[in-house]
Amino acid sequence: MVITGLTRNQLGSNPPRVRIPPSPPQSNRNFINVAVVLFLCYYQFGDCMKNTDYDELYSKVYKEIGDLTPLKVDCGVLCSGACCKGDSNTGMILFPFEKTELEIKITQNGERLAICNGTCDRNKRPLACRIFPFFPTVDERGKVYVELDYRAFCVCPMVEHYDEILFDKRFLNAVKKVGKILVKDKIFKEFLKTTTEEIDLYHSFYDK
Ligand code: SF4
Ligand code: SF4
């Protein structure tokens, strides 16, 4: 599989596969079993937000980024908008519970890709597009940093030439704030951790 960057995953040799959801609980399941399952769910996800809160959460983090972009000028002139040159098999990885009006494809890794074909309603673009090519990485203790996303190395010229570029600090602070908001939720924390490990792997590869 050829991976060309943060979220421009190539699905050519990695066809999307639909995950089959688990069967619904059977109606004759006894009360004790249901209670045990509910207890385990609470135990595992007790510090997660209720599903209904995620829309609000995304409004909040989208607002944090607002109109900010990595540079104070349009970075698209550097590369003719390389990160938006998609096709029907490439997409942006959605964050957990993130909704989109774009078509979604599921990768073999279970990632949800929002397929955009290079066009979208900018106000509704996924979080990954809003923070590209940065990511709110976390360490073992859940401390949030803002780092270049080395998965974007082959797509975004800013990743390779970061030391020649003056990034907009307000944008970087906003990405950090987004990370701090997300990391409070157990599921997001896990997502940030896993993605941080992936970015580290790409970083070590490109550092060679
Ligand atoms: S690829 Fe990088 S430089 Fe080009 S438009 Fe996207 S974020 Fe800007
Ligand atoms: S969803 Fe929009 S911003 Fe994101 S890559 Fe596609 S065209 Fe670009």
Domain ranges of the chain: 48-207
Expressed in angstroms and rounded, the spacing between residue 151 Cα and the centre of ligand 1 is 13
Computed over its alpha carbons, how large is the radius of gyration of the chain?
19
Question: Which range, of 42-46, 48-52, 67-71, 183-187, averages the lowest pLDDT?
Answer: 42-46
H-state helical runs in 25-146: 31-45, 54-65, 76-79, 127-131
Choose which residue among 156, 160, 162, 167 to substitute to test ligand 1 binding: the one with the highest number of ligand atoms within 8 A of its C-beta.
156
CA angle (128 as vertex; 150, 205 as ends), nearest 5: 10
Q: Rounded to whole angstroms, how far apart are CA atoms 133 and 119?
A: 18
- Judged against a pLDDT cut of 70, whether residue 73 lies above it is answered with yes
Q: What is the pTM of this model?
A: 0.78
Here the tokens at position 20 are 């089959």
What pLDDT, in 10s, does the model give residues 78-130? 899 999 987 888 889 999 999 999 999 999 889 999 998 888 999 999 999 99
